[in-house]
Amino acid sequence: MYNYKLTGLYAITDATQRNPQQLIADVEQALLGGARIIQYRDKTTQHDQRCDTARRLRKLTRQHDALFIINDDVNLARNSHADGVHLGCDDLTISAARTQLGSDAIIGISCYNDFSLAKQATRNGADYIAFGRFFPSRTKPDAIQANIKTLQKAKCELDIPVAAIGGITTKNAATLINAGADMLAIVNDVFSHADIKAAAQRYQKFFTEE
């Protein structure tokens, strides 16, 4: 079933932010700016700290009626009562994640620039797919280059929400939305700004302006 909550600014936490208090504060500003989805991505800190941060982010996203997604870690998603998990090609399968998280969990899949992978993910029950990187990215500079045509093909042929990721700025955001992106997944051009709330507002306007 098409999930109509999967739209708008999809803010991904800055993995270089090692101060949990500051990370929480930054996410709150993104939510105040209109971010509709928050993904917690952290593969470096200790397990207990990650669990504590995830639980606090879960509480915060509920207060702002936003979705909360965990990157890669199904156990953390379950333990923090997150809305779901985002998986890459080397992570757990959709069916295995679904078994652990339940039928209502949101499961997103990175499809890079591979339409066949997106098609398979859709058949296997993914709730959304993500393509990227579309533009040069500071977060993942060596990531596979995605093509706008892959995004357009997915929107024409697959009935599933699509996220675009990688090097997105306010100068290229409209191109991706016009090609069919339901969500813009952004790290740096939200969390690198001194005024995170204003940065988030600039992106959310793309989804609210007629």
Residues taking part in catalysis: 41, 110, 140
Cis, bond preceding 133 (omega within 30 deg of 0): yes
199: three-class secondary structure by DSSP:
helix
Pairing of β 128-131 and β 162-165: parallel
For 80-206, list the strands marked E by DSSP: 84-87, 106-112, 128-131, 162-165, 183-186
Q: Is 106 exposed, middle or buried (0-12, 13-18, 19+ CB in 10 A)?
A: buried
Residue environment code for 148-175, b if the CB has 16+ CB neighbours within 10 A, otherwise e: bebbebbbeebebbbbbbbbbeeeebee
- The percent of the chain in helix, strand and coil, each rounded to the nearest 5, is 40, 20, 40
Query: Alpha carbon of 33 to those of 9, 62, 134, 155, 201: distances in Å?
Result: 10, 15, 24, 27, 5
Inter-residue contact 199 to 168 (CB < 8 Å): no
